[in-house]
Amino acid sequence: MAAKTRAEKMEETRIKLIKAGRKAFAEKGYAEASMDELTASAGLTRGALYHNFGDKRGLLAAVVDEIDSAMAQQAKDAGDAAGGGWNGLMAEGRTYIELALDPEIQRIVLRDGPAFLGDPSQWPSQNRCLQATIATLSELADQGAIKPVDIEALARLLNGVALNAALWVAASDDPKDTLGKAIAAFECLAAGVLVAPSAK
């Protein structure tokens, strides 16, 4: 078996650190997670963490990006299963909001992420989601299915509604009860952009 290249070793280290960070942040939260403990659990040193991510905050950003990207993929899969278009867009939003029931997502992405990384709309994973929403809305606009409004503005607001609904679910004392209210409100607000409700 050939020896691993430097790049392969670096990627392996990065993956180990993200896995260890994800576990520590899910179990203890970002503030309480010890860098020494999480690097030791991966069989690595703090130096490896600094080299790959700069600091603990950089590791959190990588973990959030991994989880949020997986959330976006699950939402996209739901949209594809719903046939794309408007129905797909609504399925994506519902799925993203429903994922707020997951304890790991609640703690890492929807609580610690905004608290320590700032505005989620500025995260790379959210920008990728925004671009996908813009593409879908552009297709719907070309079909005359939605009202003539600025597509980027509409995409930002729809994504913002879904994100804030997920944040509300995660912070709620009764997330399951809040989920139904959040999805109903998301769908009600989103339906306002349709040329005719029957276009769904």
pLDDT score recorded for residue 2: 66
Mind giving me the DSSP string for the chain?
-PPPPHHHHHHHHHHHHHHHHHHHHHHH-TTT--HHHHHHHTT--HHHHHHHHSSHHHHHHHHHHHHHHHHHHHHHHHHHHTTSHHHHHHHHHHHHHHGGGSHHIIIIIIIIHHHHH--GGGSHHHHHHHHHHHHHHHHHHHTT-B-S--HHHHHHHHHHHHHHHHHHHHH-SSHHHHHHHHHHHHHHHHHTTBSSGGG-
Based on the fold, state whether residues 48 and 108 are members of the same structural domain: no
pLDDT score recorded for residue 91: 97
Rounded Cα gap, residues 73 and 41, in angstroms: 29
Based on the fold, state whether residues 120 and 175 are members of the same structural domain: yes
Based on the fold, state whether residues 109 and 183 are members of the same structural domain: yes
pLDDT score recorded for residue 126: 86
Residue 41 lies in domain? 7-54
For residue 44, how many C-alpha atoms fall within 13 Å in the half-sphere facing its CB? 23
pLDDT score recorded for residue 200: 44
Does pTM surpass 0.85? Answer: yes
Domain CATH number, residue 23: 1.10.10.60
pLDDT score recorded for residue 7: 83
Q: Is residue 198 part of a domain?
A: no
Based on the fold, state whether residues 43 and 89 are members of the same structural domain: no
Domain CATH number, residue 131: 1.10.357.10
Q: What is the pLDDT of residues 126-142, one digit of tens each?
A: 888 899 999 999 999 99
pLDDT score recorded for residue 106: 95
Based on the fold, state whether residues 125 and 35 are members of the same structural domain: no
pLDDT score recorded for residue 8: 86
Domain count, the chain: 2
Q: Give the residue ranges of the chain where pLDDT is below 70.
A: 1-2, 197-200
Rounded Cα gap, residues 60 and 62, in angstroms: 5
The answer to whether 20 and 27 are in contact (CB under 8 A) is: no
Based on the fold, state whether residues 148 and 93 are members of the same structural domain: yes
